[in-house]
Amino acid sequence: MINNKENLKYFWDNHLKNWSSAYNKDFKKLSILEKCAHIIRTKQIENRHKFIVSLIKEKIKNKKILELGCGNGVLSKEIIKMQPAHLTCIDISEIAINITKKKLINIYDNNKIEFINGDIETIKIDFNKFDLILGLGISQYLNQDIIKKIFFSSRSNFCFDYINSELSLLNILHSIYRFLKFFGKKRKFPNYNKFNSKILMSLNKFNKDICFLKKDNIYYIYYL
């Protein structure tokens, strides 16, 4: 059986191609499933992006930033405009890394940006050296030990969103999407984890004064 890491890399490579097609309004390349998902997903991602930018805009200048899962590079581009001292972008998908590089090619300084194509769970990196760690759209693919290691056991500030474990229309729709995405295929949808505030608080090793927020049906946790 194909292990979860291979599934995860395959999923994100495929997902980034769909995202790029949707972002460029090239809908002919999208399956019916992805077209339906795009209708729901796009507005949610736009809302998440706007909120995160408003939340961190005063926290970036001259700081060392780590972005986990740079995806299509939209947030990376906004971060660079805020003039960080250094930005490190990590993604398991080489396609994501290449898309982000292309998006930033005219505005980034090689001395101020590092791109790492690798697995967040196994990559050797000192999370304490960053002033702020961002992880959007990734927590559901990480187990509790990794979330604790990255966000709660380091001394860095952080912000990430998470899928709440409560029953909701969005969770039901996403369960249907996950089922149909790999229906009849050898590959399976990567492990998908849901959390709640109680679970996340139990990981708070350093007793950080963390904040929880639900906005536009998206759940956030941050320490800034």
pLDDT digits (tens, 9 = 90+) for 164-180: 988 888 889 888 988 88
**pLDDT digit string (tens) for 85-110?**
999 999 999 999 999 998 888 776 77
Q: What is the arithmetic mean of pLDDT over 187-197?
A: 84
Per-position DSSP letters for 40-100, written without gaps between them = HHHHHHHHHHHHHHHHHTTS-TT-EEEEE--TTSHHHHHHHHT--SEEEEEES-HHHHHHH
Is the pLDDT at 133 greater than 80? The verdict is yes
How confident is the model at residue 174, as a pLDDT? Answer: 85
Distance of CA 61 to the CA centre of its chain: 21
Percent of the chain at pLDDT exceeding 70 = 95
Domains of the chain, residue spans: 4-63+123-223
The end-to-end CA distance of the chain, in Å, is: 41
The mean predicted confidence, pLDDT, of the chain is: 88
Residue 48, pLDDT > 50, answer yes
Mean pLDDT confidence for 195-201: 93
pLDDT at 2: 44
Report the run of H or E that residue 147 belongs to, with start and end.
helix 144-147
| Identity of the residue numbered 88 | T
- pTM of structure: 0.90
